[in-house]
Amino acid sequence: MSRPRVVFMGTPEFAVPSLQAVAASCDVVAVVTQPDRPRGRGLAHESSAVARCAESLGCGVMKPADMKSDGVRGELAALAPDLFAVVAFGAILTPELLAVPRLGAINLHGSLLPEYRGASPVQRVLWDGRKTTGVTTLWMDHEIDTGDVILAREVPIAEDDDAGSLAARLAALGAPLLADSLQMAFEGRAPRVPQDRARGSYAGKMTKADGIVDWSLGAESVWHRQRAVTPWPGSSTTFRGRPVRLERTRVASAVGRAAEPGTVVAVAEPGVDVACGSGSLRIVKLKPEGRALLDAAAWARGVRLEDGERFESLRKAQA
């Protein structure tokens, strides 16, 4: 049985399960990923998660600095691919490049399109407090995540999900979906279901500023946002003038206002309850600057919390 010739394009850990699934069912003639970037405290250049996976699979790896160059297009065209498979690649493909594969280019996106098109669908669905999300495969066109849908799968969002855990589940859900979509396209039976251009939403890229806790918001909003920015950029606040990162939280009370926002209102074994604009948030785990991850109750005992002490926004602390 013949197998499709596929160029795989992807960069972060989210794309690794897809590369593994595609390599098992297709002939991956090349893997294209972003160039090595400086990472870690020493800022040593490190290859992407997809590059490392490709090397372990014995696939040839390309790391072009400019996807728009004629040289890159020529190199890919020489491989005579049937299809491109694209997962969180990190660069826009020009119409000229999308015309290279014989049958077209297929993308795996981490939302149920047309909702949450764009760069941060996993984080933004948590930020908005949604209960479900999913993955979609689609034919790529010259716009961002607007092509015809092939397949989609829905999944509930768990209360203990953050962006890291939800992304891992969606990556695992989407990998076989992408492999199936490529095979369907190769056999000429992949559907093309147009998206409703009048519907949908856009998931803009997250920034470090999104991680600053705003205690004046309602407890549910603070909780949703903490989950959305974990592990990156991290949910950041201050206590006694020192940065603290919230790693796991839950809503202690969604109604009422017990004290000024940021004030610690209760400490018990389940965690530390903090007043918000309405209701209170329970901090379950946190990470003080320069220290390991701690249970919030153990941290409270260690710092010997006093009545009326408050967490403050980083913006206020830096003012």
What percentage of the chain carries pLDDT values higher than 90?
88
Pair 172, 194 in one domain:
yes
What is the structure's pLDDT at 105?
A: 98
pLDDT tens per residue, range 55-90? 999 999 999 999 999 999 999 999 999 999 999 999
Sign of CA dihedral 71, 73, 77, 82: positive
Pair 165, 26 in one domain:
yes
Distance (Å, whole) CA 313 – CA 317: 6
CATH number at residue 113: 3.40.50.170
pLDDT tens per residue, range 226-279? 999 999 999 999 999 999 999 999 999 877 666 999 999 999 889 999 999 999
The closest alpha carbon to 192, from 89, 117, 106, 81, belongs to 106
Is the pLDDT reported for residue 42 higher than 70? no
pTM attached to this predicted model: 0.94
Of 141, 172, 203, the last residue of a domain is: 203
User: CB count, 10 Å around CB of 8?
Assistant: 31
**Count of domains in the chain?**
2
Which residue type occupies 252? A
Residues in Cβ contact with 40 at an 8 Å cutoff, skipping those fewer than 6 apart: 46
The pLDDT-based confidence of 319 (bands split at 50, 70, 90) is: very low
Of 203, 233, 266, the last residue of a domain is: 203
CA dist 288 → 89, 248, 295 (Å) = 33, 13, 11
CATH number at residue 247: 3.10.25.10
Pair 162, 185 in one domain:
yes
**Average pLDDT rounded to a whole number, residues 152-159:** 98
Pair 160, 233 in one domain:
no
Pair 29, 111 in one domain:
yes
**Ramachandran region of residue 104, left (φ > 0), alpha (ψ -120 to 50) or beta?**
left
Domain that holds residue 118: 5-203
What is the structure's pLDDT at 68?
A: 93
The backbone torsions φ and ψ at residue 199, rounded to the nearest 5 degrees and listed phi first, read: -105, 180
Residue 153, both tokens:
């799968």
How does 298-312 read in b/e, with b if 16+ C-beta sit within 10 Å? ebbeeeeeeeeebbb
